[in-house]
């Protein structure tokens, strides 16, 4: 069982947003490099989920969806609401792999809130999103993997929804541009039509999505992950 969440009271300054630069540090600087290989010597997908070690900067992928970052003094906390228990398990593990303690609690409508503790480690991420998404951001495989784990939904037979933050309308266009730059050009689904979300369709784009996010986490149902 996961630990109970804290009862911190944040100061005003809640922000939501998208995802920053490819393989970036927490301050958003780009770190380019040659393609990497796995232990078997196979070339990994450039910017794919398996091409780099997990970093705190990856968590901007959650902000591309329904995630929120809240500042309190010199610290910040990231939280996201999800619609299934398996997402809780995956996200808590992903946060732990980045050195962040996380808690969760049930919310209305059979949903679950996952949140980190307040920590200085998240302060640069919060500062980067103080006024919305940073300019010229990109989506890497690890950021897409986190977004998908939090808010990705398959649409059989040939589609996938990546859900957005309902209150982040000013960010949606930039997020769509980042998806297109990653080879995942999608169609914006309005709130009244089952969104907000970007719909990714077509076998080629779904193959690209699967390639970038890597294999399904063990807690995820097989049908919930692109293959």
pLDDT of res. 31: 37
Q: Distance of CA 5 to CAs 65, 74, 160, Å?
A: 22, 20, 31
CA 196 to chain centre: 15
Note the helical H segments in 49-106.
Answer: 60-64, 85-96
Q: How far apart are CA 119 and CA 123, in angstroms?
A: 7
The residue-averaged pLDDT of 10-17 equals 41
Q: Are 128 and 137 in contact (CB under 8 A)?
A: no
- Non-local (6+) Cβ contacts of 146 within 8 A are 58, 59, 61, 62, 91, 94
Angle between the N-to-C axes of helices 141-151 and 203-213, in degrees from 0 to 180, rounded to the nearest 10: 100
Helix (H) or strand (E) holding 149: helix 141-151
Residue 5 clears pLDDT 60, i.e. is over it: no
Q: How far apart are CA 59 and CA 125, in angstroms?
A: 8
Largest CA distance in the chain: 49
Cα torsion through 202, 80, 177, 127, rounded to 10: -160
pLDDT of res. 132: 75
pLDDT band at 1 (very low <50, low <70, confident <90, very high): very low
More confident residue, 227 or 87: 87
Helix, strand, coil shares of the chain, percent, nearest 5, are 35, 20, 45
- pTM attached to this predicted model: 0.80
More confident residue, 64 or 132: 64
Q: How far apart are CA 141 and CA 131, in angstroms?
A: 24
């Amino acid at each position: 069982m996961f630990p109970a969440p804290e009862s911190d009271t944040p100061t005003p300054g809640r922000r939501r947003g998208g995802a920053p630069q490819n393989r970036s540090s927490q301050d958003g600087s780009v770190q380019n490099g040659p393609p990497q290989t796995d232990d078997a010597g196979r070339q990994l997908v450039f910017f794919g989920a398996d091409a780099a070690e997990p970093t705190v900067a990856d968590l901007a992928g959650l902000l591309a969806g329904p995630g929120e970052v809240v500042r309190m003094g010199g610290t910040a906390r990231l939280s996201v609401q999800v619609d299934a228990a398996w997402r809780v398990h995956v996200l808590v593990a992903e946060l732990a792999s980045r050195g962040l303690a996380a808690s969760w609690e049930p919310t209305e409508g059979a949903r679950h809130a996952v949140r980190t503790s307040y920590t200085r480690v998240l302060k640069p991420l919060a500062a980067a999103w103080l006024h919305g998404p940073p300019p010229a951001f990109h989506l890497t495989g690890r950021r897409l993997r986190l977004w998908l784990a939090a808010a990705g939904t398959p649409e059989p037979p040939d589609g996938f929804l990546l859900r957005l933050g309902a209150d982040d309308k000013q960010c949606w266009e930039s997020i769509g541009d980042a998806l297109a730059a990653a080879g995942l050009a999608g169609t914006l689904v309005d709130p009244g039509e089952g969104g907000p979300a970007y719909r990714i369709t077509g076998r080629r784009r779904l193959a690209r999505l699967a390639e970038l996010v890597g294999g399904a986490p063990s807690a995820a149902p097989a049908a919930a992950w692109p293959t």
